[in-house]
Amino acid sequence: MTAKTDAYFAKPRTWHDAALALRGVLLDMGLTEELKWGKPCYQNDGQNIVIIQEIKNFMALLFFNGSAIDDPEGVLERPGANSHIGRRMRFVSPDEVTGRRAILRDYVTRSIAAHKAGVPVERVQELVYPDELINRFDDDPDFHAAFSGLTPGRQRAYVLHFAGAKQSATRVARIEKFADRIKAGKGLADR
């Protein structure tokens, strides 16, 4: 536990009690707690295992390597259509966390074992870079270098965002809008 995570849990929030219940289970398992990306993240031997996500209508525990673990209870879901590796378990109350304590412990144990064993995760489909982005790379080597320096996840988010536009002019506008953020090493959702 750190002062930052203690401060996070000290603030009243919509899912405060459920988050505290999850925290209790995770710390009881000997995981290291750290604030990452503004959220409580839990690690084992320096590897990210799970992170607590508080969303408007529910709370979730995201398993970083969720696609590599078995889901006999059928409680894991993809966080989004473009998510390949992470899986999350939803909660809507502290009682639900308490009621699923054994399942939680089992899934966290599975996740740790998968990390330690190097279980391969689901292969991510190859990205199709829009022509407008490739043209920008050709025209601006500094932009290309900055984009190449981003993490694979950040690159993926940008490519999906750019390619999601139906019209070429919109794709060009999106690339231009985010060019400075890319050159600053920031991801699409970074603040």
- pLDDT digit string, tens, across residues 56-110: 889 999 999 998 899 999 999 988 777 778 899 998 888 888 899 999 999 999 9
pTM above 0.75, yes or no: no
* Structural domains in the chain, sorted by start: 3-117 (3.90.1150), 131-183 (no CATH)
**4-60 pLDDT, tens per residue?**
888 888 888 888 888 888 999 999 999 999 999 889 999 999 999 999 998 888 999
Residue 92 DSSP code: S
Q: Rounded to an integer, what distance in angstroms lies between the CA atom of residue 11 and that of residue 108?
A: 26
25-35 pLDDT tens trace: 999 999 999 99
CB 114 within 8 A of CB 79: no
Burial class (CB in 10 A: 0-12, 13-18, 19+), 184: exposed
Name the strand (E) or helix (H) holding 88. Answer: strand 87-91
Report the first-to-last Cα separation within the chain, whole angstroms. 25
Residue 1 confidence (pLDDT) above 70: no
Query: Can you give the pLDDT at residue 124?
Result: 64
